[in-house]
Amino acid sequence: MALKEQILEVIAGPHVAAVATLDGKQPAVRFMVLAGFPDMTLVGGTMKATKKVEQLTKNADAALAVWSGKEFSDPYVEIRAKGKVHEDTATKKKYWNPMFEQYFKSVDNPDFVVLVFSAQEITYHSRNMSSLEVWKR
């Protein structure tokens, strides 16, 4: 199986991911639900007033980690990405997921924004961590 396909098996669809941004010169990490797409972007929703939005606005560099979450020995990926905050209605509608309702009420909520992380480099750690491979944009 090609590397991109292996990566997509880990990131496709919604997953809990560790997302790191920069708070000044210090990393700040939090968990978010992100959905992975074939173009190697990961997308999630959040509130406009969060620290991560402020941090990504100042510095788009982000690091993410996604584990398939089934068995401890399953593959996982480490991602270096550029994050972008989207407030426009078209992007919000494009990525709206009904699971967001409990947090954001509706796609029209002005406090709801979409974060799009465009992977620049993905390190794939294979099952049982027996090898790793790197995909680059």
Q: Answer positive or negative: Cα dihedral of 5, 8, 13, 16.
A: positive
- Start-end of H helices in 19-109: 51-58, 89-95, 101-104
Q: For the chain, which residues make up each domain, given as ranges?
A: 3-136
Lowest average pLDDT, out of 9-13, 40-44, 123-127, goes to: 123-127
Of the two residues 131 and 29, the one the predictor is more confident about is 29
Please report, in angstroms and rounded to a whole number, the separation of the first and last CA atoms in the chain: 19
Q: What is the largest CA-CA distance in the chain?
A: 46
Say which CATH topology domain 3-136 has.
Pnp Oxidase; Chain A (2.30.110)
Total length of the chain: 137
Q: Give the confidence band of 128 by pLDDT, cuts at 50, 70, 90.
A: low
Q: What is the pLDDT of residue 133?
A: 87
Tell the residue number behind the tokens 């199986």, with chain if given: 1
The whole model's pTM is what? 0.93
